[in-house]
Chains A and B, each alone.
Chain A
């Protein structure tokens, strides 16, 4: 089956530093990837849609200069949390759509998530 990986799985950083999270589709190509944020005991909040070769589309209220997204290849999207602060601590999950499938299937494959803790 389709597998999406995330790296790192867990990261602890100091306030003010930047952190990069990678999302990879391991056995399929993904022209579209999604980044979600999940607060403790809460649902997933869509942050942005990452499109290969073009700028990401951010949801309302998400700072694009704070959360930089790059989708440089068909198998890799990165989320960089710039100048991280404790309130950025969260569980970040990515998902990817298989480009080979027709749009009607609309299946997303989720990564295992990255736990970010900002001290």
Chain B
């Protein structure tokens, strides 16, 4: 069975500071990994995804994530936070070629001026 653990339900950073949102996964088969962002009362927008190609994945809005198999991690980073980055972020996992996607509990990012 697959699962996703996001460490920290809330993360607060200052504008311009590094953003680091942690995600660890569990999967018995090679996983596909995703990061999504959700703004209030909206659906999810895909930030980036890992599908067994390059382990460092670059996404939209300056975000990137690195797949580390040895650590079963897929942490999301951004060098410099912007106020508009304040949102809920979800890490998700699915089996390669599979259909079902399992979401983590989410991490709310706060950006202080």
A interface list, Cβ under 8 A from B: 4, 6, 32, 34, 41-44, 46, 49, 91, 93, 95, 97, 103-113, 115
Number of chain B residues whose Cβ lies closer than 8 Å to a Cβ of chain A: 24
Contacts A43-B90, A43-B104; is A106 near B44 (CB within 8 Å)? no
Report yes or no: B43 in contact with A43, Cβ–Cβ below 8 A. no
Report yes or no: A107 in contact with B100, Cβ–Cβ below 8 A. no
Report yes or no: B32 in contact with A106, Cβ–Cβ below 8 A. yes
Taking the closest CB of chain A, its distance from the CB of B77, in whole angstroms, is 21
- B41: chain A residues at CB < 8 Å are 91, 113, 115
Binary contact readout B44-75 vs A (1 if CB under 8 angstroms, 0 otherwise)? 11100101000000000000000000000000
- B101: chain A residues at CB < 8 Å are 34, 46, 106, 108
What residue in chain A is nearest B97 (Cβ atoms)? A103
